[in-house]
Amino acid sequence: MSEIISSKINKRSAWLWVPSLYFAEGIPYVIAMTVSVIMYKTMGVSNTALAFWTSVLYLPWVVKPLWSPFVDIISTKRNWVVITQFILGCCFIGVALVVQLPHWFVLTLTILWLVAISSATHDIAADGFYMIGLNAHKQTWFVGIRSTFYRIAMIVGQGLIVMLAGFIMSRTGLEPLNLTAEAVPSAEISEVIDESNLPEVMEYGKARIIIFPEEIKLPIFDISRPEYDSANVFIRLSAPPEENEVVVVNFGRKKGSKDINLKSAGRLEFTSDNWNTPVKVTLKVDHRLREPARAEFEATAGDAPFSWAISFGVLGVIFLLFGLYHKWMLPQGLESVKTRTRELTSGWFEVFASFFHKKEIVGGIFFLLFYRLAESQLVKMAAPFLLDSQEAGGLALTTTQVGFVYGTVGIISLTIGGILGGLIASRDGLKKWILWMALAINIPNLVYVYLAYFQPDNFLIVTICVAIEQFGYGFGFTGYMLYMLYLAEGEFKTSHYAIATAFMALGMMLPGMVSGKLQALMGYRAFFLYIMACTVPSFLMAFLVKIDPDFGKKKE
């Protein structure tokens, strides 16, 4: 296949299409890999299930080299970019239409599979277009820019889109209701609440959450009365939901002493059949507590399906506009196409064979698989950790707060890290900085160990920790992207880069599939310690990988 560079390339500054192209490349990836995790978490899917099924969505990126030669041969990369962006826009609108249906989990997962397939194809075409449109030095210089905008897309997806869903969620459904719990000496407690002395509630109209009592006192543990260390509250609705509607009430500690905990489940489901049946929730005082303490619990029941429907609908419209923009803005005349059958068959084998005959390819593959071993598991559990109740080991942030952390401060810190990594590698070459980049992408994960052990109620502290982790990730991931460009050098570099990203996806998919199960078995504290142990292979691969010292440096 021949590629002809046209003079038209000079009429389109790379600044007009590289940032938007990689922003568009990042959005569907983060939707499939990260936003889906948050969506499923807010809709009650377990950590084990959401980690497994969203990790399976990596599969199209793993096997995309099987069809990358067809992208090279059939039509142009420019056409593939535009077509897949229109398909992705339609898919996002499809999620918006089915997320409120009875079988929403299977339906959304099926559409997300289409998103993953289209996104993987878009990646092949976009990366190939990038490499034929820029020379080697500009590729190196813009790698920080493209990495930054790719990550900005990820932050916008798991930041602004999630914030939008959280904003809608907080203003739909039922009004939140708070409960104050105090731990006091047992002598100060005069009445025990149980099913026998619950008041009758005969209220109709618009449904709301009812908690009885709204203030409760729990006994501080007394060794002489070891069975007397807890108290019950009862939750129900004031009116029935609509037919076939399920109202999910999430109940958990919002702030205050961590020595007052939920003993029983904090996720309750009400329907038109059980709306007026009080559900018992038990609070328990830690046996080590000796002084009076106070905590505030909150019951929330936002309309999560409606919130995600609006968010995905907005995203779908935006992506259709991206398709229109790139149809007009991407440079034309960069490539010509031949579709002879002989090239479809012989070219496919030639591309694969030449990749695996590269010098030091075994070390390169191990680098691609293990450089992000810790990140591949952390990324699946970070959002559930931030969202989970404090009793479950999480930080009990709202959906809006999770979006804000990644959508504002995260953008600034990641942008600085990504651009700094590209500039430094462009000046000194990748070889000099790869070990430092491995340190940057792994060591900041320690902030999650801190957050898991201390569970700070201070949102500013949480934001600072996320900012540190995002800066390190922006700097370290630049090295990973540069190495994939290095490994793809030579003939068939578009397809070879696709093969490199396939190994990257495999390295994310397999560990990610088991991360939810491991977290469920270990708890968040032990899980994040395990994540730090998983950084060792990354350091080893960065130390051993072979890279030309001149790769990435500006050439006269």
Q: Are 42 and 387 in contact (CB under 8 A)?
A: yes
| Whole-number percent of the chain with pLDDT over 90 | 33
Residues 214 and 274 in one domain: yes
Q: Which residues pair with 210 in a beta bridge?
A: 236
Q: Identify whether 516 is part of a domain.
A: yes
Compute the distance between CA of residue 212 and CA of residue 179 in angstroms, rounded to an integer. Answer: 9
What string of DSSP letters covers 111-139?
Answer: HHHHHHHHHHHHHHHHHHHHHHHS-HHHH
Q: What's the order of all strands across the beta sheet hosting 267-270?
A: 215-219, 174-184, 293-301, 247-256, 267-270
Write out the two tokens for 528. Answer: 């994040």
Per-residue confidence band for 190, with pLDDT thresholds at 50, 70 and 90:
low
Q: Identify whether 553 is part of a domain.
A: no
Compute the distance between CA of residue 530 and CA of residue 523 in angstroms, rounded to an integer. Answer: 11
Residues 206 and 343 in one domain: no
Say which residue, 223 or 89, is predicted with more confidence: 89
The residue out of 301, 333, 356 marking a domain boundary is 301
CATH for 485:
1.20.1250.20
Residues 310 and 297 in one domain: no
Residue that is written with structure tokens 């390295």 in the block: 507
Residues 95 and 179 in one domain: no
Q: Identify whether 196 is part of a domain.
A: yes
Residue range 80-108, pLDDT digits in tens: 999 999 999 999 999 999 998 988 999 99
> Exposed, middle or buried, 191 (CB in 10 Å: 0-12/13-18/19+)?
exposed
Residues 271 and 338 in one domain: no
Nearest to 495 by CA among 344, 372, 369: 344
The residue out of 232, 267, 301 marking a domain boundary is 301
Region 38-42: mean pLDDT is 91
Query: Residue 252 belongs to what H/E stretch?
Result: strand 247-256
| Whole-number percent of the chain with pLDDT over 70 | 88
Per-residue confidence band for 205, with pLDDT thresholds at 50, 70 and 90:
low
Q: Identify whether 554 is part of a domain.
A: no
Residues 102 and 82 in one domain: yes
Q: Which residues contact 340 (CB under 8 A, 6 or more apart)?
A: none
Residues 345 and 400 in one domain: yes
Compute the distance between CA of residue 514 and CA of residue 1 in angstroms, rounded to an integer. Answer: 41
Q: Are 315 and 92 in contact (CB under 8 A)?
A: yes
Residue-level pLDDT at 3: 39
Region 43-54: mean pLDDT is 91
Q: Identify whether 85 is part of a domain.
A: yes
Say which residue, 409 or 164, is predicted with more confidence: 164
Residue range 139-179, pLDDT digits in tens: 777 777 887 788 788 778 888 899 999 999 888 888 888 88
> Exposed, middle or buried, 277 (CB in 10 Å: 0-12/13-18/19+)?
exposed
What string of DSSP letters covers 508-525?
Answer: HHHHHHHHHHHHHHH-HH
Compute the distance between CA of residue 263 and CA of residue 282 in angstroms, rounded to an integer. Answer: 5
Q: Identify whether 326 is part of a domain.
A: yes
Q: Domain of residue 261: give its range.
A: 174-301
DSSP single-letter state for residue 242 = P
CATH for 187:
2.60.40
- SS3 of residue 182 by DSSP: strand
Per-residue confidence band for 318, with pLDDT thresholds at 50, 70 and 90:
very high
Neighbours of 66 (CB within 10 A): 14
Residues 296 and 309 in one domain: no
The pLDDT of residue 308 is above 90? yes
Q: Are 290 and 29 in contact (CB under 8 A)?
A: no
The residue out of 301, 321, 336 marking a domain boundary is 301
The pLDDT of residue 240 is above 50? yes
For the chain, how many structural domains are there in total?
A: 2
Out of 41-50, 58-67, 320-329, 346-355, pick the least confident.
346-355
- Segment of 383-387, 424-428, 447-451, 472-476 carrying the highest mean pLDDT: 447-451
Residues 315 and 430 in one domain: yes
Residues 179 and 326 in one domain: no
Q: Are 54 and 91 in contact (CB under 8 A)?
A: no
Per-residue confidence band for 273, with pLDDT thresholds at 50, 70 and 90:
confident
Residues 52 and 140 in one domain: yes
Q: How many residues does the chain have?
A: 556
Residue range 366-375, pLDDT digits in tens: 999 999 999 9
Query: Phi, psi at residue 78, to the nearest 5°?
Result: -60, -45
Q: Identify whether 126 is part of a domain.
A: yes
DSSP single-letter state for residue 215 = E
Residues 515 and 426 in one domain: yes
Per-residue confidence band for 340, with pLDDT thresholds at 50, 70 and 90:
very low
Asked whether the bond before 213 is cis by omega within 30 degrees of 0, the reply is yes
Q: Identify whether 409 is part of a domain.
A: yes
